[in-house]
Each structure stands twice: as C-alpha cells, then as structure tokens.
Amino acid sequence: MITTTGLRAAYDDQLRTDAETPSALSVTRHGPLRLVTFAGGRGFVTYRDLGGADADAIRMLVQQTLAHFRADPGINRVEWKTRGHDRAPGLHEALLEHGFTPDEQESIMIGDARALAVDVPLPGGVTLRRVTGDADVRAMSAMQDEVFGDPPSDEMANALLSRLSRADGMELWVAEADARIVSAGRLEPVRDTQFAGIWGGATLPAWRSRGIYRALTAARAHSALRMGKTLINSDSTEYSRPILERSGLVTVSTTTPYRWHR
C-alpha cells in the first residue's frame, strides 16, 4: 500500500532535483539552494531542504539569493517556491522583508496514474486532442491567460513552443467545442523518475462542472502510463483539488510561491 508519507518521500527524493526544472537556461548552486534562470527574465528558487538552517542563516540565504538575481539585468522577476512540510524557521518573514509577496497556497497532490486513467464521458460536441502546432499552442495559451486573469501575452506560448521543439516528452492537451478551446492542460513526464506532472489546467467558466477537466486529466493519465510513469503529481488550486481527490489523488503537503518583481 502506498502511504501519504511514502508519496511525500518519493516527491522529495525524485522531484526536488534538476528534474524539477527541465527547461532551465542555467542553474547555480548556493548552499542548499538551486538558483534557476528561465527564458523571459524569470528567476526561480528551489531546494531539497534547507539543511537545518536557523532563522539567521535563512535570512542570509534570502539576501544573497536576491543579490544573485539583481546582478543579472535580464531577470525581472523571481519565484521562491516553498513547501509546507519543510523545516524553514523565519523564511516567511525573511521573504517579506526582502520584497517577496506570497501567492495563494496550493495543495501538492500525488496518486496512482491508474486511478485517473478512467473513461470519462464528454458533453456533446466536446472533443479532446493533443496540440503541437503554432496556432493551436497560441490559442491554448491565450485561453489560459483569460482563465487565470493574466494580460494577453506571447511569453508562455513561446516557452511552450520552445519546449516542444526539444521533444523532451511534454504534451499539450486541449478540449474543444465549436472549434474553440474551452479547457487545456499539459503533461510533463519527469525523466528517470516514476512521475509525470499535470500542469496548467484551465477551463473557461461557462464550461466548468461538466466533466471536461476530469476527462482531460484522464487522457493525460493514459498517456503517462504509456510512457511508463506510474505516479501523477500536481500543484492544485482549490478549483482542481476536489476533482483530483475524487480521482484518488491525495494531498501530501502544500506549496506557496513567493514572488519578487524588479
């Protein structure tokens, strides 16, 4: 039997490594931290743990991390990803002190891919498919910007198209109705692990509560199993968490991103 503790340990051991950032332009090690640079001026901070650091040491790590990214004029924003089960005394206070602001907390969810890979009936006129072409990826990204309340931007579409060009296993899935994308998400198999992540799930408000997101999740789980991945992970909002719980995923911890903007 897979326990919550066992799933959390698998998450820490297999995912909190370079496997977490497959599209990084560069990674700098600083003590226990991995300071990551992505395309588009985005910095990212992650780690397996903080090595038992006390509050003073953690404050110094935050200060030094911000100095690292400030020194690169190409970086315009930084995300520091925290996990609720880490021992991190004073981290919240240190991040606020240095200009980071927290986003909404999300649930780290993990479960057996087979629990999600079920047949889910779709509403009439709705179809699912993978997308790879420029126009489809841009339409998908624009729909997600709309759902998440972000201003229209080519940044995510360009990043996704770059990833697709590298053929690293990432898949983009959409649901369509009347030739319009109404729901979407991506699948990210993690090399040399049991995991595939499901990310970016978004459904237009008028199409929610019809089983479309669950069907899109099932399609991605089927694909993950074909790749030999047995565990699915997701950082889930309060919108998607209940759907994944009904499919058998469990919450093993929480994550809160803290964001700094130049």
Please indicate, yes or no, whether residues 56 and 126 belong to a single structural domain of this protein.
no
In a domain, 116, yes or no: yes
Identify the residue with better confidence: 134 or 200: 134
Q: Is pLDDT at 119 greater than 80 in this prediction?
A: yes
Please indicate, yes or no, whether residues 131 and 67 belong to a single structural domain of this protein.
no
**Residue 19's domain is classified under what CATH number?**
3.40.630
The per-residue pLDDT for 199 is 92
Please indicate, yes or no, whether residues 197 and 86 belong to a single structural domain of this protein.
no
**Residue 149's domain is classified under what CATH number?**
3.40.630.30
In a domain, 260, yes or no: no
Q: Is pLDDT at 1 greater than 70 in this prediction?
A: no
In a domain, 259, yes or no: no
**pTM here?**
0.89
Residue-wise pLDDT for 138-182, tens only, equals 999 999 999 988 888 888 899 899 989 989 899 999 999 999 999
Domain count, the chain: 2
The per-residue pLDDT for 248 is 83
In a domain, 262, yes or no: no
Q: Is pLDDT at 19 greater than 90 in this prediction?
A: no
In a domain, 38, yes or no: yes
The per-residue pLDDT for 246 is 84
In a domain, 90, yes or no: yes
Please indicate, yes or no, whether residues 85 and 163 belong to a single structural domain of this protein.
no
Domain, as residue range, for 155: 111-253
Can you read off the two tokens belonging to residue 170?
């990432």
In a domain, 258, yes or no: no
The per-residue pLDDT for 169 is 92
Please indicate, yes or no, whether residues 135 and 67 belong to a single structural domain of this protein.
no
Please indicate, yes or no, whether residues 102 and 117 belong to a single structural domain of this protein.
no
Please indicate, yes or no, whether residues 40 and 70 belong to a single structural domain of this protein.
yes
Given pLDDT bands bounded at 50, 70 and 90, which one contains residue 48? very high
Query: Residue range 221-249: average pLDDT?
Result: 91
